[in-house]
Structure 1
Amino acid sequence: MKPEYVPVSKLTPKSKSYKIKVAVKEKSPVKIPANKRRFQKLVFADDEGNEIRGTLFGDEIDHFKTVLEHQKEYIISDAPIKATDPRFVNKEGPYQIGFGGKIAIQPLVPDSGPVLPQYTPIADVPPTSNDDDRFDRLGVVVHMEEVRQKTSLNGFPFDVATLLPDQALIISVYGELATVDCQ
C-alpha cells in the first residue's frame, strides 16, 4: 500500500495529523543579526514543486544540523504549520513549517550517501539560464578584491567581495560569505 502524503500546497495552520514527502531545496548559512538570535532558513519542496519555508532558531540549528541535509528527501509528519509574518512573506507561500511540537522527521533513503557535485565547464553553461538552474563549478581563485560595503535598495549596508578566477568570469560574493568564508 502506497503511503498517502499531503501536498505542501494543502497545508494550513489547521493541519494537525499529516505526512509530507519533501526534499531540502535550500539551506542557508547560519545568520547572526544584531539582536544576536541565530537563525537558519530552510526551503522544502515536494514532488509537485510546491515549496514551504522553515526557520531554525538558536539551539534548533545545532539539533537539526545533521538531521536535515541539503537536497536529501524526508518524510515530515505533524510539524506545526503557522502563518508567515507578513514582513517575511516570500515566494514559498503564506505558511511556514515549525520545528516544535510532535514533529517527526524520517530520512526517505537513509543510506543514499552524500550528494556529489556535477561540475559543468563554463563554456557549457547556457547564457539564458533561468533562475531555477543551478550549476556546480570548481575553480582556483587567483585574485580577490578587498571587501567593500554597498547599500541595498532598502538602505541596508552589506559586504561584497569580487573574486576574479580569470578574465572570462567574475564572481561576486555577498554578506558573510564575503567577510568570513573568503578569509
Structure 2
Amino acid sequence: MLDTHGRKYISPLFKGAANIFLKLNMTPNNITIIGFIIGLLPFVFIYFDKPLIAVILLWVSGFLDAVDGEMARISKMSTPLGTLMDVTFDRLVELGVILAIALKEPKSMLQLLFLTSTIIISMTVFLTVGALSRNKGSKYFYYQTGVAERTEGFIFFTLMILIPVHLQLITSIFSIIIAITALQRFLEARRILK
C-alpha cells in the first residue's frame, strides 16, 4: 500500500540515484545483484546480535531494489531476466531475515513458519496473476497492489529485528496483514481473469 500510494513522494530520490548509476554505466541488473548481496548481509548481523546494522543494510538493499526498477524504466532496459532476478532475490532476502530470526528466537518458530506460509501464498497469487494477465503497468508484468507491499514488509522486518521481546506479536500481525493481502489479490484475480 505504501509503495503504491507513497511512491510519488519519494520517486525523485529513486530517479536521481538511477540517473547517477546509469551515468556510471551500470545496468539495472548490476544494481539488482549489488542490492541482493547487501540484502543477504542482515542474516549475519542478526545472528551476531548487531540489529541496527542489519536493519540499515536491509533498507539499503530495499532502496537499491527500487532504484534498479527505476533504472530499467528510464533506460528502457526492462527484461524478463531482470524481473525474475528482482522477484527471486526479494524473496531470498526476506527468507534470510526470517531464518536468522528463527535461529536466534526458536520459541517463535511457529509464528515465523506461519509468516513464511502467508508470504508463499501471497506471492503465489501475485505471480500467477502476473503471468496470466496482460502487462498493464510500467513494470514488466502486471503488478497487483495490496495492503502489504515491500515497504510494509521492511517496516515489519525492522520491528521484528529491533524489538525481539515482542517478536511473536509483531510476526503474528505481519502474517495476518499478508494473509489479508493474499485474499485481496485473489478476489481481484477472480474479477480480472474471468
Q: TM over 0.5: same fold?
A: no
What's the TM-score once normalised by structure 2's chain length? 0.21
RCO comparison, higher one (Cα < 8 Å, 6+): 2
Relative to its length, the structure with more strand (as a share) is 1
Relative to its length, the structure with more helix (as a share) is 2
